[in-house]
Structure 1
Amino acid sequence: MRKQTLPVLCCVAATFLFASCQKNGAQKEEVKPDPVSAEVLAQIKANGFSTDNVVKTEDGYLVENDILLTADQLKQPVVSPILRIAKTEQYRTNYLVSALPRVIKIKVTNLGTAFIAGTDTAIARYNRLNLRITFQRITSGTPNITIKGFNQGPSGGYITLGSSGFPTSGGNPYGTIKMNTNQYAYGSNPNVLYVGSVIQHEIGHCIGMRHTDYMDRSYSCGGSAINEGDGGVGAVWIPGTPSAPDANSWMLACSNGGNRTFNANDIIALNYLYH
């Protein structure tokens, strides 16, 4: 998840535009990211993801600025369609959580009370949908998803708010959500509902959801229209959903800077996959 800042960060009165799940490169003082091979870029494209600004990390490859793809995921054959809602559509990946019904256990580690309360908020929102996948926050034992912090300041007018990945080929949810503890991410007194909305979005990735404006990221982010393409794996429209742009989805690439939860089409998509 990404937050856009004004160019002059030293202005205390600066306002912020929060953008969902995008990450914009490294800070100037950081080491330049390792180059990504042509073979890996081809695998990323074949899986239907943008090859712009791919960052190699210790866990895999960060694509579309907030989504972590592992080397194992990139090697999997592309066989599944992508779920679409509307012209500004809802999508899933080639990977979903399987062995349903099941309870996904989430643990928050070394983060403050706002992140814990935000996690509880996100969990409650999912569980109210009565899906065959439910969530439970635990304080001991082995979690399926760990939410932990990192500290990275602004770069190029943007700051990372959070990141996550997609389910494994074995049908398990992605195991890590990272939330930025830098002062420019959420401030000294984070708003619980906003933090919860970010976590809710990242959980969406962990269970297989892509950005709603996958075909045109400028819809929520502004700037140039970017069509990420579907990698030749097709798209399946969900009957009963509209053909007009959908401005309030919880999986839009960039947020409105406030509290955002599921809209009617999001619920249709989740029911289609997990009811």
Structure 2
Amino acid sequence: MKKQMLAVIACLAAGVMISSCNKNDKQQESQPNPVSDEVLAQIKANGFSTDNVQKTEDGYLVEGDILLTSEQLKEKVGTPTLRIANDEQYRTNNLVSALPRVITIKVTNLGTAFIAGTDTAIARYNRLGLRITFQRITTGTPTITIKGFNQGPSGGYITLGSSGFPTSSGNPYGTIKMNTNQYAYGSNPNVLYVGSVIQHEIGHCIGMRHTDYMNRAYSCGGSAVNEGDGGVGAVYIPGTPTGPDANSWMLSCSNGGNRTFNANDIIALNYLYH
């Protein structure tokens, strides 16, 4: 997830955008870790944007906040229900299995706002009465670890957080990274804002894609980006809109503040996990 930085970076209050798994990032002037054409082809074949892909120690960061591993990119995708996304609700090929299930979350080496934000996100999910529930723990081995990283603005954006998708074995993605850089959340992070980002990243961990991933201009502004009819990897969730869906918790870019589930988000989560 990212937010857009204005020409004067100090103006933190203006133009916040979450590209999370979210985003239509501006092209960086330089790529210190160039991504091969082979990897870009794999990313596109899996239905993800190839704009501003970043190579990281864990894999490849796409669409601003989604982490894809090399192993995931090599997996074959294909199902008769796959279709090209516009602005509907979409999930990934893999979902969390072995339901009902309690997913434990541990926050490590982060401040009180991140702990309170995690509790906020957990409470919002648990109120839905799904067959997956969440519990924050302070000891033991968690299902999902939330930890920090420090990365400044790049190419007009700053990454707020990142995560990945469920494994082929049915486990949620195990790591959420939250940016501790001063330009991400400021010196006194707003708990509801931090919680909204964590809520979004948990959505990725359990298999949700960006609501507007094929036209991130809807929430991010700028020109529409469409990968063409060769992209796959997004499975339409029946009962969700076939047009733009305002305020979805899985929109590519943030509204700059508190965002939780809208009515269609709840339909999507109930369809998958009720």
Q: TM-score, normalised by structure 1?
A: 0.90
Q: Which residue identity lines up with residue 199 of structure 1 in the other structure?
A: I
Q: Which residue identity lines up with residue 236 of structure 2 in the other structure?
A: V
Matching of residue 6 in structure 1 with residue 3 in structure 2: no
SS of equivalent residue, structure 1 residue 136 = strand
Report if the CA contact (8 A) 1:82-1:92 is conserved: no
The sequence identity of aligned pairs, in percent, is 78
Q: TM-score, normalised by structure 2?
A: 0.91
Query: In the TM superposition, what are the counterparts of 1:95-110 in structure 2 within 5 Å?
Result: 95-110=94-109
Structure 2 Cα separation of the partners of residues 133 and 37 of structure 1: 38
In structure 1, the partner of 2:139 is 140
What's the CA shift for 1:36? 1.8
Stretches of structure 2 that go unaligned for 5 or more consecutive residues are none
Which string of whole-angstrom CA distances, capped at 9 and with x for unpartnered residues, describes residues 2-39 of structure 1?
A: 111221225xx5532221224758998xx943222222
In structure 2, the partner of 1:48 is 47
Which string of whole-angstrom CA distances, capped at 9 and with x for unpartnered residues, describes residues 217-251 of structure 1?
A: 10000001012457245753513x44442111000
Structure 2 Cα separation of the partners of residues 70 and 14 of structure 1: 32
Query: In the TM superposition, what are the counterparts of 1:74-85 in structure 2 within 5 Å?
Result: 74-80=73-79, 81-82=81-82
Report if the CA contact (8 A) 1:117-1:192 is conserved: yes
Structure 2 Cα separation of the partners of residues 260 and 130 of structure 1: 19
Report if the CA contact (8 A) 1:83-1:91 is conserved: no
The alpha-carbon distance between structure 1 residues 25 and 244, as it changes in their structure 2 partners (threshold 3 A), is closer
The number of equivalent residue pairs is 269
Structure 2 Cα separation of the partners of residues 151 and 46 of structure 1: 31
Stretches of structure 1 that go unaligned for 5 or more consecutive residues are none
Report if the CA contact (8 A) 1:216-1:228 is conserved: no
Structure 2 Cα separation of the partners of residues 98 and 237 of structure 1: 17
The alpha-carbon distance between structure 1 residues 43 and 196, as it changes in their structure 2 partners (threshold 3 A), is same
What's the CA shift for 1:82? 4.8
Report if the CA contact (8 A) 2:84-2:232 is conserved: no
Query: In the TM superposition, what are the counterparts of 1:67-216 in structure 2 within 5 Å?
Result: 67-80=66-79, 81-82=81-82, 88-216=87-215
SS of equivalent residue, structure 2 residue 90 = coil
What is the root-mean-square deviation in Å for CA atoms of aligned residues? 2.3
SS of equivalent residue, structure 1 residue 173 = coil
SS of equivalent residue, structure 1 residue 16 = coil
Q: Which residue identity lines up with residue 13 of structure 2 in the other structure?
A: T
Report if the CA contact (8 A) 1:105-1:137 is conserved: yes
Which string of whole-angstrom CA distances, capped at 9 and with x for unpartnered residues, describes residues 163-204 of structure 1?
A: 111111111111110101111111111110010000000000
